[in-house]
């Protein structure tokens, strides 16, 4: 839509949904000149979708350098959040955010373990740079965290990362690849 700078839901539509904007943002298809407008729109509607679709919302926000928005979504503590799922008593990702959204939900949907994906790929910053994890890059994003530490199993062994914010604001990162 030239007047808003947002993507429309389809040909002939005048509506711009979270989904229609999060997907091009996640896949790097939004031109730089419109990226901030689309990212603002996506961030303003974060968690207004299913837990599964949050993968694309967070990917788009990461790609747009929206660290605060990513952490706001990951650390939210309301009835449309992963912490809300824990408060509900779930020990694994739930099919929907809560019973109000889907009264017949179940609590065993591992495909909505999106926070784990982002802890590995974004907070710890471990990503493959060659097929089969033959090489990796490690670029942590701590956001409001003072430190993060974890083990990332790969086909080529475990990558252990410890990232810690220093007094001067820089991040000290120690990586061991076993």
pLDDT of residue 27: 97
What is the rounded distance in angstroms from the CA atom of residue 45 to the CA atom of residue 58? 12
Nearest to 51 by CA among 73, 23, 72: 73
pLDDT of residue 176 exceeding 80: yes
- Predicted pLDDT of residue 91: 84
Q: Which residue has the tokens 């503590």?
A: 77
- Given a cut of 80, is residue 114 above it in pLDDT? yes
Question: Residue 92 — left, alpha, or beta (φ > 0 → left; ψ -120 to 50 → alpha)?
Answer: beta
Distance CA 127, CA 8 (A): 32
- What does the pLDDT read at residue 56? 96
| Confidence (pLDDT) at 173 | 97
């Amino acid at each position: 839509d030239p007047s808003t700078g947002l993507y429309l839901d389809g040909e002939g539509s005048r509506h711009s949904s979270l989904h229609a904007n999060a997907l091009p943002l996640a896949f790097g298809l939004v031109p730089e000149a419109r990226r901030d407008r689309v990212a603002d729109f996506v961030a303003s509607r974060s968690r207004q979708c299913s837990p599964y679709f949050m993968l694309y919302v967070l990917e788009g926000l990461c790609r747009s350098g929206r660290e605060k928005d990513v952490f706001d979504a990951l650390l939210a503590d309301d009835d449309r959040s992963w912490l809300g799922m824990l408060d509900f008593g779930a020990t694994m990702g739930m099919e929907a955010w809560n019973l109000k959204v889907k009264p017949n939900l179940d609590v065993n949907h591992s495909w909505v373990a999106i926070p784990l994906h982002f802890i590995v790929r974004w907070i710890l910053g471990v990503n493959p740079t060659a097929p089969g994890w033959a090489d990796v890059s490690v670029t942590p994003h701590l956001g409001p965290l003072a430190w993060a530490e974890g083990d990332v199993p790969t086909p080529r062994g475990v990558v252990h990362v410890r990232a810690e914010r220093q007094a001067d604001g820089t991040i000290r990162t120690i990586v061991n690849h076993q």
